[in-house]
Amino acid sequence: MKKKIFNGLLIGLGLVALVGCGKNNSSSIDKSSLIKSEDVDSSYDEDAIIYDATKITTGGSYIIEGDVTNSIIVDCDDEVTLVLNNTNISISEFSGIYIKDAKKVYINLVGENTLTTTGDYAAIDDNKVDGAIFSKSDLTIKGEGSLNINSSLHGIVCKDNLVISSNYLSIKATKKGIDVNDSFLAYQTEIEIDSNTDAIHVENDDTALGYAYLDNSTIKIITTRDGISTSGLLEIENSSLDINANSTTSLSSESIKGIKAGSNITLSNTIANITSSDDAIHSNNNVTINSGEYTISSGDDGIHADNSLVINDGSINILKSYEGLEGKNVEINSGEISIISSDDGINAAGGNDGSSFNRPGANNFSTSSDVYININGGNIIIDASGDGIDSNGNLNVSGGKVIVYGPTNNGDGALDYDGTASITGGILCAIGYSGMAMNFKTSTQGSILYNTNTTYKAGTKISLSGSDEIFSITSKKAFNSVVISSKDIALGSYTLTINTDSYTINLTSLLYSNSTGVFNPGGPGFHR
């Protein structure tokens, strides 16, 4: 008998399974082939009703209802559907659902279901079974019902591909929440995880696997290790994330990141609130943010890419970080970006061997042309205790509005670069101290660096005027140096007013500095 329990079947969307789609050797996940209709359609054949499930050795649909005290074990060569209908599974010293072998298994959720395991798991065969749900086959969890898992070990372990498209899934685990080998897809689902190790972990030695895709999902995570960790690609879109990855103990050797991937991370149209002891978003390769809203509080970097960090649009609010944005190269094309950092606001650095890099000051940085910061657009506000914008290669500004509140000491600068620096568009104001102050090297618009003998307090108004006022700002920090650049600044005479003090500036070239120090390109006497 056919029974329909889910009306959200997607028909005609041309979506194919993430599982079984083969290896992924590209730089992004092929979203044209992600999910099969049977991964969201929860109709089933009512072939048998099992209340105290033991071992399932033939394919088909099995309905499990009420209280269950024996483990459900699947061991066959066919497809199996397990319908959990208001089921309460409670198992001591073993997995609640153990899929030893099957072509594929579907778990359909009807009503409210619970699965609880206690104690260490006993060995019943050669497999190391360590999850409340443990599957050695492709597994899909779907349905309009819910499932609450409370595990004494891992929550869900899948040695192949895992799809979750259920209405609601809650996991509380002593170890990992979700542990997957090949690939993980969360689609139109709400998942809550409270775990003592990684909340969602996808890892495979094959670099074409170990990837994850989250779409139209709500994910809430509390963990003492990584929130979401993949060895391969990670793409998230149209979703909501709330990740708290923090530890109250000293775990310097452990990774406690919000989102982490061994390959590329791509985020689109997602709202994320991430608090983490380590980097909030970290890729061993590239990070691309296309759109969305991201609120970050990090004990280390806000967003880190070992290679390229590209922001195409979106709202990024980094409330706390060591370094706000960091990559071998950083490119900002649009977006609303606010950064508070205890060291550099935006940092571009690369190891001489092209590998992951250490902190500034380690003297192992490359200044090659592939280390750069390019700002092409966006509204950017930086409050940095170290360098505001620091490129160990080149710095190029062609658009947008950039405000930098730099350090209140002479050991760092509001702008810092080791290669070339150009400004060809946009508005930039960099406020800081004069000891390491730098202007641009080349410009197609006026760029003024002015150092004062007076140190002004926070709350002081700064304005630049020609025949009319060109730019004004109230500094939120103390300063004695300011860089201002705008397309409205050309050759001619200008007045810089700071508080009640006025300084006359005569531009005979587009680059101006009143300093002759070694760190002040754009003025007379500059040398390196």
> In this predicted model, what pLDDT tens digit does every residue of 135-182 receive, in sequence order?
999 999 999 999 999 999 999 999 999 999 988 999 999 999 999 999
pLDDT score at 364: 42
* 271, 278, 348 from 317: Cα distances, Å: 11, 17, 19
Which pLDDT belongs to residue 351? 54
Identity of the residue numbered 188: Q
- Per-residue pLDDT of 408-464, as tens digits, reads 999 999 999 999 999 999 999 999 999 999 999 999 999 999 999 999 999 999 999
- Give dist(CA 472, CA 497) in Å, integer: 9
Please give the pLDDT value at position 19.
39
Q: What is the reported pLDDT for 330? A: 98
Tokens 């009640």, residue? 500
pLDDT-based confidence at residue 525 (cuts at 50, 70, 90): very low
User: pTM of the entire structure?
Assistant: 0.91
Confidence of residue 467 (pLDDT cuts 50, 70, 90): very high
Is residue 5 over pLDDT 90? no
Q: Whole-angstrom Cα distance, residue 300 to residue 278?
A: 5
Report whether pLDDT(211) > 60. yes
CA pair distance 528, 58, nearest whole angstrom: 77
Residue 227 has pLDDT above 90, yes or no: yes
> Which distant-in-sequence residues (6+ apart) come within 8 Å of 12 by Cβ?
none
Q: What is the pLDDT of residues 108-123, one digit of tens each?
A: 999 999 999 999 999 9
The reported pLDDT for the residue numbered 60 is 87
What is the arithmetic mean of pLDDT over 257-278? 98
Count CB-CB contacts under 10 A for residue 218: 17
Burial of 335 (0-12, 13-18, 19+ CB in 10 A): buried
The residue ranking higher by pLDDT, 10 or 405, is: 405
pLDDT band with cut points at 50, 70 and 90 for residue 355: very low
- Per DSSP bridges, beta strands 190-195 and 161-173 are parallel
* Residue 37: per-residue pLDDT: 81
Q: What is the pLDDT of residues 476-516, one digit of tens each?
A: 999 999 999 999 999 999 999 999 999 999 999 999 999 75
Strand partners, 304: 282, 326
Q: Residue 51: pLDDT band by 50, 70, 90 thresholds?
A: low
pLDDT band at 388 (very low <50, low <70, confident <90, very high): very high
What pLDDT digit, counting tens, does each position of 361-375 carry?
Answer: 333 445 567 899 999
Which pLDDT score, from 0 to 100, does residue 251 have? 56
- Alpha-carbon gap, residue 350 to 358, rounded angstroms: 8
Q: What percent of the chain shows pLDDT beyond 70?
A: 86
**Length of the chain counted residue by residue:** 528
339 membership: H or E segment, kind and range: strand 336-341
Q: Locate tokens 């950092």: which residue?
A: 341
**Nearest residue to 429 via CA among 488, 484, 494, 499:** 484
Nearest to 483 by CA among 525, 527, 528, 421: 421
Residue 369: per-residue pLDDT: 74
Is the per-residue pLDDT at 45 higher than 60? yes
Q: Residue 508: is it exposed, middle or buried by C-beta count within 10 angstroms (0-12/13-18/19+)?
A: exposed
Per-residue confidence (pLDDT) for residue 229, from 0 to 100:
98
**Does residue 27 have a pLDDT over 80?**
no
To which H or E segment does residue 419 belong? Answer: none
Strand ranges in 398-527 using DSSP code E only, listed in sequence order? 401-405, 415-417, 421-423, 427-432, 442-443, 446-456, 461-465, 469-474, 479-486, 492-498, 501-507, 511-513
Alpha-carbon gap, residue 168 to 170, rounded angstroms: 7
Query: Is 390:416 a contact under the CB 8 Å cutoff?
Result: yes
pLDDT tier at 35, thresholds 50, 70, 90: confident
The pLDDT > 90 percentage for the chain reads 80
Per DSSP, the three-state class of 434 is helix
Residue 187: pLDDT band with limits 50, 70, 90: very high
